[in-house]
A = this chain, B = another copy of it.
Amino acid sequence: MTDDILNPIDDQVDEFKRAIESIILVAHDPVPAELLAQLIEQPTMLIEQWCSELAESYSQAAHGFELVQIAGGYRYQTAPDLTPYVERFLLHDQRARLSGAALETLAIVAYKQPISRSQVAAIRGVDPDGVLRTLQARGYIDETARDDGPGQAILYGTTTSFLEKLGLASLDDLPAIAEFIPDADVVEALEDGLRVTPQVDVAPREMSQNEPGGSSDGASWP
């Protein structure tokens, strides 16, 4: 097929194919052949060949997953005929409910957009990657811009679908929170890792939830 001199020996080929499998297994997005070539240090052409050999072997073995080439890369996905099982599982999945962490992250993006993942991380104090990915997969947030700075970080914002789900006409309809939250410089000081004393007490959640009709705007606030 290809020039014999270029071909790695069999043992190595086995390892390279296993490496391809491992990388694609953990990847959240389809992995381009060029990236695999770079990581494994083999020609793109060989990578492509190995990937189709792998795909072929999965289909021969009639596995419940397949290796497909999609959106400029390779990924594992479930076989089309098994969709009913997958859907049944997804309806059972605990992750279907919006966790407290996910709600907070969504709220941060909603009120602070456009915002980068590192800014979200600084506010929440934990790595937000998983949650951001889930919110994006659900179509509540999306990458809306790039930071001008050197890293050109991705900036996130909420989507129109988010507004629809919450019954809002526009972002301007989000209830104001500025009055309840310490000044930006205080928040910044916190992000820098300094200890600051909270200047405002947040009303206990139960209280505001019990308020009939959510008389949202600071009835209980001085």
Chain A residues proximal to chain B, CB less than 8 Å: 14, 17-23, 25-29, 31, 35, 38-40, 57, 61-65, 76-79, 82, 85-86, 88-90, 92-95, 125-127, 129, 137
Contacts and interface: CB of A to CB of B under 8 A. Distances in A.
Contacts of A93: 27-28
Given A35-B92, A39-B85, A76 B25 contact: yes
B64 A21 contact: yes
A93 B73 CA distance: 14
A75 to B, nearest CB: 11
A21 B63 contact: yes
A21 B65 contact: yes
| Stoichiometry (number of copies) | 2
Chain A interface mostly: helix
A76 B129 CA distance: 20
Given A22-B65, A22-B85, A57-B61, 7 more contacts: A21-B63, A21-B65, A22-B78, A25-B76, A39-B85, A94-B127, A94-B129
Contacts of A38: 92
A179 B34 CA distance: 49
A80 B88 CA distance: 32
27 contacts: A14-B62, A18-B62, A18-B64, A19-B82, A19-B85, A20-B64, A21-B63, A21-B64, A21-B65, A21-B78, A22-B64, A25-B65, A26-B86, A26-B90, A27-B89, A27-B93, A28-B93, A29-B94, A35-B89, A38-B92, A39-B89, A39-B92, A40-B85, A57-B61, A61-B61, A94-B127, A125-B137
